[in-house]
Amino acid sequence: MNQIHIILFYKFTEIENPDEFVQRHLNFCINEGLLGKILVAKEGINGSLSGSQEQINKYKDYLTSQNQFSDINFKEEIGTFSPFKKMIVRQKKEIIRMDQDLDLKKTGKYISPQELMELYESDAEFIVLDTRNNYESEVGKFKNALTPDIETFREFPEALKSLEDKKDKKIITYCTGGIRCEKATSYMVKEGFTDVHQLKDGIINFCQQYPNTLWEGKCFVFDQRLLSLIDPDSEPITHCIHCNQSCDRYQNCKNPTCDDFIILCEMCSEDFNGCCSQKCVEEYKSHTIRKSRERQGYKSKEKAQGE
């Protein structure tokens, strides 16, 4: 079986002509047969790609040959299938959206995985803060971490208000690959937090160096895998929405008017037609019947016109 290499990367750096950058980047990736998604903005680049070892190495060489990306860090995993169906390079206003005016040269101090391990083993007082969305922290988090109840990163500034009285405390932020905690700490510094740190290269880097230690559960990723393969043996910290058995199988509710992310074991997914509730089961069945009748009616009409 051929191995698929998956890389995650970002860098905040000024890109003078994003339009031109996007087109050159897209052409290179398509020519090399890469799959994935890359966001480009004046503030930098944020992407994830998949391909063979040779394809990924060529991309790394291509990107790091450009002076401003010569020191970019790549987080790499091995998979058995490509988690992407096509190649997208898209220009955005921000490579990770927060809708805040920030000086990204002023961020929290980096803390390495080793330093985080030592901090947990010490008697020091500190706060570990998850900067990801609630459906991500639901399936995995660091031991004793604070997990804000946010659905998008744009909600982080509002959620941070709950820590107004902790501005002088030592706070360690983290996210999947590092990009969100970097922008989060920039906002925190702007808001007057005095001892802010960010986990260098995020959860993926930590779990590769220190598996089965401080990380609890699984790591959510924004591709077809939904859960990263860095910690396949870790025990789930979530339960099936129906039978309550230990489970970390994420899927969308099949009712198109709901479409919520839910934890659903395979047996209950079959019993409940992939839906989160009995109400959604009924709506999904009605939707399926309606669509089937529409298709049949369309075909009958076509047939009648042809006769």
Instruction: Count CA atoms closer than 13 A to 163's CA, side-chain side.
Output: 28
User: Which are the contacts of 52, defined by CB distance < 8 A and separation ≥ 6?
Assistant: 2, 3, 4, 5
Q: How far apart are CA 226 and CA 9, in angstroms?
A: 17
Exposure class string for 39-78: b at 16+ Cβ within 10 A, else e: bbbbbbbbbbbbbbeebbebbbeebeeeeebeebebbebe
∠ at Cα 87 (83, 93), nearest 5°?
105
Q: How far apart are CA 216 and CA 238, in angstroms?
A: 10
User: Could you identify the residue written with the tokens 């895998």?
Assistant: 225
297 φ, ψ to 5°?
-65, -40
Strand partners, 130: 174
Alpha-carbon torsion, ordered 117, 118, 120, 124, to 10 deg: -160
Q: 98 near 175, Cβ under 8 Å?
A: no
Show which residues are catalytic. Answer: 175
Residue 129: both structure tokens together: 């803060």
Give the CA distances from residue 78 to residues 30, 48, 81, 82, 276, in Å, rounded to whole numbers and listed in that order: 21, 13, 9, 10, 32
Angle, to 10 degrees, between the axis of helix 53-64 and the axis of helix 18-31? Answer: 150
